[in-house]
Chains A and B, each alone.
Chain A
Amino acid sequence: MSAIIHESGLRTLIDGWLASGKLVAAPVEVSGRVLYQRLKSSGEAILESRERPANSIKQFLFPRHQALFRYRLNGKQVELVDSADDTREQIIVAARPCDAASLPVLDHIFNCDCKDAGFDEARQRTTVIALACNSHDEACFCTSVGLGPSSEAGADALLVDLGDSEFEVRVLTDKGRKLFEGRTEPGTREAPALEGPPRKFDAGAVRQFLANGFDNPLWGEESVGCLGCGVCTYTCPVCHCFDMVDEGNAAGGERVRNWDSCQFQMFTQHASGHNPRATQSQRQRQRIYHKFSIYPERFGALLCTGCGNCARNCPAGLGVLRLLEKIDSRVRQQHV
Chain B
Amino acid sequence: MIEQLRETCRRLLDEGSVQVIIGYGDSLPGKPARPLFIRKSEDVDQLTWGPHCLPNLTAYLKRKEVKALGNAAVIVKGCDEKALVVLTKESQVDRASLHVIGMACDGVCAPKCAGCKMRTPRFADEVIGTPSDAEPKAGTRPVTLEDLMAKTPAERWDFWKGEFARCVKCYACRQVCPLCYCERCIADKNRPQEILTSASLTGNFAWHIARAFHLAARCVECGECTRACPAGIPLALLNRALAEQTEESFGYQPGMDPDAEPVFGSWKATDKETFIR
Residues of A within 8 A of B (CB): 30-33, 35, 37, 54-55, 64-65, 137-139, 220, 223-225, 227-231, 233-235, 243, 245, 247, 256, 258-259, 261, 264-266, 279-281, 311-313, 315-318
B197 touches A258 (CB 8 A): yes
Smallest Cβ-Cβ distance to B34: which chain A residue:
A317
CA distance A229 to B176 in the complex (A): 8
Across the interface, B37 reaches (CB within 8 A) one of A224, A227, A231, A315, namely: A224
- 1/0 per residue, CB under 8 A from A, across B155-170: the answer is 0000000010010111
B28 and A317 within 8 A (CB): yes
Complex Cα spacing A38 to B31, Å: 28
Distance of B193 from chain A, by nearest CB (Å) = 8
Q: Are A31 and B168 in contact (CB under 8 A)?
A: no
Chain A residues positioned under 8 Å from B37 (CB to CB):
224-225
Closest CB pairs A-B (n = 7): A317-B34, A31-B232, A317-B27, A229-B175, A230-B170, A315-B228, A229-B172
Contact partner, A65, options B60, B64, B199, B230, Cβ 8 Å: B199
Which residues in B have their C-beta under 8 angstroms from that of A139? 28, 31
Closest to B36 in A: A225
Known: A234-B230, A281-B65, A317-B28. A229 touches B171 (CB 8 A): yes
Query: Which residues of chain B have a CB within 8 Å of any CB of chain A?
Result: 27-37, 55, 59-60, 63-66, 69, 142, 163, 166, 168-172, 174-176, 188, 193, 196-200, 203, 224, 227-228, 230-234
29 intermolecular pairs with C-beta atoms under 8 Å apart: A30-B232, A31-B142, A31-B231, A31-B232, A35-B232, A37-B166, A64-B169, A65-B200, A65-B203, A137-B28, A224-B35, A224-B37, A224-B66, A225-B35, A227-B172, A228-B175, A229-B170, A234-B230, A235-B230, A245-B198, A247-B193, A256-B198, A259-B168, A280-B63, A280-B65, A315-B55, A317-B27, A317-B28, A317-B34
Closest to B24 in A: A317
Task: List residues of chain A with CB within 8 A of the CB of B227.
Answer: 315
With CB as the reference atom, state the residue of chain B lying closest to A59.
Answer: B168
Contact of A138 among B29, B230, B233 (CB under 8 A): B29
Closest B residue to A227 by CB, please name it: B175
Contact B34 A316 (CB under 8 A): yes
Residues of the A chain whose Cβ atoms lie less than 8 Å from the Cβ of B188: 265-266
Q: Give Cα A35–Cα B232 distance, bound, in whole angstroms.
A: 9
Of the residues B193, B203, B228, contact of A231 by C-beta under 8 Å? B228
In the complex, the chain A residue whose C-beta lies closest to that of B141 is: A32
Closest A residue to B196 using CB positions:
A247
Given contacts A315-B224, A315-B228, contact A227 B59 (CB under 8 A): yes
Determine how close the nearest CB of chain A comes to the CB of B32; give it in whole angstroms.
7
Given contacts A139-B28, A227-B176, A229-B175, contact A313 B34 (CB under 8 A): no
Q: Which residue of B lies closest to A247 (CB)?
A: B196
Q: Are B28 and A261 in contact (CB under 8 A)?
A: no
New A-B contacts (18) at CB < 8 Å, excluding given A32-B142, A316-B55: A31-B163, A31-B232, A54-B230, A55-B230, A55-B231, A138-B29, A139-B31, A225-B60, A230-B168, A230-B169, A230-B171, A231-B172, A234-B230, A315-B224, A317-B27, A317-B28, A317-B34, A317-B35
B-side contacts of A32, CB under 8 Å? 142, 232
Bound: A266/B37 CA distance, A? 25
Pick the contact of A35: B69, B172, B231, B234 (CB < 8 A): B231
CA distance A311 to B35 in the complex (A): 14
Query: Complex formed: what's the CA distance from A259 to B166 in Å?
Result: 14
Give the docked Cα–Cα distance between A47 and B56 (Å): 36
User: Which chain B positions have C-beta within 8 A of A228?
Assistant: 175
B166 and A35 form a contact (CB under 8 A): yes
**B224 (CB) vs chain A CBs: closest residue:** A315
CB pair B232 A311 closer than 8 Å: no
- Residues in A with CB closer than 8 Å to B172 are 227, 229-231, 315
B69 near A224: Cβ-Cβ < 8 Å: yes
Closest to A34 in B: B232
Q: List the B residue with the shortest CB-CB distance to A33.
A: B232
Shortest distance in angstroms between A103's beta carbon and chain B's nearest beta carbon?
19
Identify the interface centre among A55, A223, A281: most chain B CB within 10 Å of its CB. Answer: A55
Closest residue on chain B to residue A232 by CB atoms: B170
On whether the beta carbons of A138 and B175 are closer than 8 Å, the reply is no
Q: B64: which A residues are within 8 A, CB to CB? A: 279
Residues of A close to B203: CB separation below 8 A: 65
Instruction: Tell me whether B28 and A312 are in contact (CB under 8 A).
Output: yes
User: With a CB–CB cut-off of 8 A, which chain B residues contact A261?
Assistant: 170
Q: Nearest Cβ in chain B — how far from A194, in angstroms?
A: 21
Q: How far, in whole Å, are A245 and B203 apart by their CA atoms in the complex? A: 13
Chain B positions within 8 Å of A243 at CB level:
197
Q: Residues of A contacting B30 with CB < 8 Å? A: 137-138
Query: CA–CA, A266 to B34, complex, Å?
Result: 25
Q: Are A279 and B34 in touch, CB under 8 angstroms?
A: no
Residues of A within 8 A of B34 (CB): 225, 316-318
* A261 and B37 alpha carbons, distance in the complex (Å): 25
Partner of B28, one of A30, A264, A280, A311: A311
